[in-house]
Amino acid sequence: MDLPLVSIITPSLNQAKWLEATIQSVLAQTYTNIEYIIIDGGSTDGSKEIIEKYSHQLKYWQSKPDQGQANAINIGFTHCKGALVAYLNADDLLEPNAVEGILNAYEVNQEFSIYLGKCKTIDENGILLLEGQGNQIRFHEIAKNGMLPNIFQPACFFNVAYLLREKFVDEKYKFAFDFELILHLLSTKSLLFLNRNIASYRVHNGSKSNLFKVDAFKEKLSIQEKYSKKDFFLFKWRRIKLAIAQKTGKISNG
């Protein structure tokens, strides 16, 4: 019996410091039926040479200018044939048995739109900062409540059967396209949370999540409004939180 194909995309731009470790974490998976795609935005820091070193193990790769991270992910998606698709940024890592664990759950029940595991947090040197985090997430908890939960995208694998649109991520969003993708899928099918470590998310001074916290928060609010029912008072409170964030540079989860 044929094993389900899994597609993994890595978008990258000038991430040579961490790129090789990311590539190795994918190629070292205990599950073997993986196609790996790297879309580099024309890096000038030696990333291309790192990718070329592993090119014989890649389904597809390119290194030339693109229109940003979301665009790079969508370019990669055009080359995907997998039943499940994930994207792993060039500074994050997968656990060695991550895909095997996800596929075991997928083969038991293919009716979930997202298969999500726990995600560790590491620093720029790979030192553990936080043990694996994550939990079961439901659509109404994200779209209709005031809280913005932490959703660890590196630990997400997406069921293409329920994507129901041509592009993988919405390029209108520059910082929170992963949040929009998750809400899009949860609006039609539920998510399965696996209580096991799947990935590690790297925090460092140059990461988008660190540099553009308020911009990402603003996009998340607009995405919540897109998927929520029209609740005037909830939206008003969200906009108050955004105004506070823009003024102080700090995000409140209250």
pLDDT tens for residues 125-184? Answer: 999 998 988 877 778 777 765 455 667 899 999 999 999 999 999 999 998 899 999 999
CB atoms within 10 A of CB 58: 17
Amino acid at 188: T
pTM for the whole structure? 0.86
Domains of the chain in start order, with CATH, are 6-206 (3.90.550.10)
105-120 residue pLDDT tens? 999 999 999 999 999 9
Q: What angle do CA 120, 94, 5 make, to 5 degrees?
A: 140
pLDDT at 252: 53
The DSSP bridge partners found for residue 192 are 115
pLDDT of residue 228: 78
pLDDT of 254: 46
Band of residue 72 on the pLDDT scale cut at 50, 70, 90: very high
- Cβ atoms of residues 84 and 168 within 8 Å: no
Residue predicted with more confidence, 105 or 188: 105
Of residues 222 and 5, the one with the higher pLDDT is 5
Determine the residue type at 160.
V
Name the DSSP letter for residue 187.
T
Average pLDDT, the chain: 87
The CA-to-CA distance between both ends of the chain, in Å, stands at 50
Please give the full DSSP string across 203-237, using - where no structure is assigned: --TT-HHHH-HHHHHHHHHHHHHHHS---HHHHHH
Once rounded to an integer, what is the mean pLDDT over residues 188-209? 86
